[in-house]
Amino acid sequence: MRLLVIDSHKSTKKTPANNLHWLNSKQIVDKFNGDLIWSYDGVNDDIKGDYDVIVFVHASRYSFVDREWLRKSPNARLFFVTNEYNLGEPYILWHTLKEGRRYEVIANHPAAASKVVQKYVNKWHIVNLNALCVDPKPVTTGDKEITAQVLYYGSFRKDRAKYFQKYFNSPLVIVSSHKKNHEKFHNIGVKPNFIKRVNWSKEGLTPYGLSLYIEDEKTHTHYNYLANRFYEALNYGVVPIFDASCKNTLSRCGYEIGDEYVVDSEADLVQATKCPPPIQLDWIGQARNEKVSVLKQIEDIISS
């Protein structure tokens, strides 16, 4: 099978990236010994054709991968891999669909939660894509000092505003987010204790002991598996602390997560920081198995 993966990442050079969707693309490519391209200088200099399968991972309206990559493989099966319900179709895929081609979606959320236009979709496959980021670092239990604060990291998401308001004025919470997001947090009445963005190419989450897990309100009813941040916490031996609103996700995820990992107020955060629950090593083994299973699912879907 000749397989091409087109990722939405944009860079000036054809060098590996460390964002999650690019890493997911790389894992799919490696599974099939395929080709991987994204928006970098020279990507369209030598356009190849006759692919059996073309897989889009993530989406961006700013991609400058040429549509000729699709035109040169008119019979290729098309897939879109997405773990973000608020993403629509990739730009060049959308124009190809308008010309009559159809495709399949591999997502970690139901179609009802997505912006994807369903009339062009032949099949919708639900797979836990978040587990693909499982990559535990060597951590010995008890070998790191637990910080007195709880880390939250990521961009501003409107669908989490009331949870930001619930926790982010607390001195117990530190927030890692790009400076361009700071004003958005201020505009909803919170003034977080901002720190630099997590550097995933260096220490990652290593300096932290506790990670705050909150989810979009939409995810409360449209199950989306445990988010990347759960698996990232496990990768670094960090204890995830869940807001109580995540109860539906916790009940369906298949992990034994007790009440000691759930908070619903600043008083609960105080308790969690004073007496942090332990990292569960069983979760790490379960996550490793989950990743293997997910890669097999993707392989079966694309190969069928």
Using CA atoms, how far apart are residues 210 and 212, in angstroms rounded to an integer?
A: 7
Is 100 a residue whose pLDDT tops 50? yes
Residue type at 288 in one-letter notation:
R
pLDDT at residue 276 tops 80: yes
Q: Check residue 95 and give its pLDDT.
A: 87
Q: Tokens 């530190």 appear where?
A: 174
Two structure tokens written together for 48? 């190849």
* Domain limits, the chain: 3-126, 150-286
Rounded average pLDDT over 10-15? 92
pLDDT digits (tens, 9 = 90+) for 29-81: 999 999 999 999 999 999 999 999 999 999 988 889 999 999 999 999 999 99
pLDDT at 22 over 50: yes
33: Cβ contacts below 8 Å, ≥ 6 apart: 3
Evaluate if residue 138 carries a pLDDT over 80. no
Q: What is the mean pLDDT of the chain?
A: 94
- CATH superfamily for 150-286 is Glycogen Phosphorylase B; (3.40.50.2000)
- Rounded distance between C-alpha atoms, residue 31 and residue 299, angstroms: 8
* pTM for the structure as a whole: 0.93
Quick one: pLDDT band at residue 141, thresholds 50, 70, 90?
very low
Q: What is the pLDDT of residue 143?
A: 54
Once rounded to an integer, what is the mean pLDDT over residues 140-161? Answer: 79
What is the rounded distance in angstroms from the CA atom of residue 106 to the CA atom of residue 46? 28
> What distance lies between CA 98 and its chain's CA centroid?
28
Helices (H), the chain: 20-32, 68-71, 91-98, 161-167, 179-187, 217-221, 228-235, 247-252, 266-274, 281-303
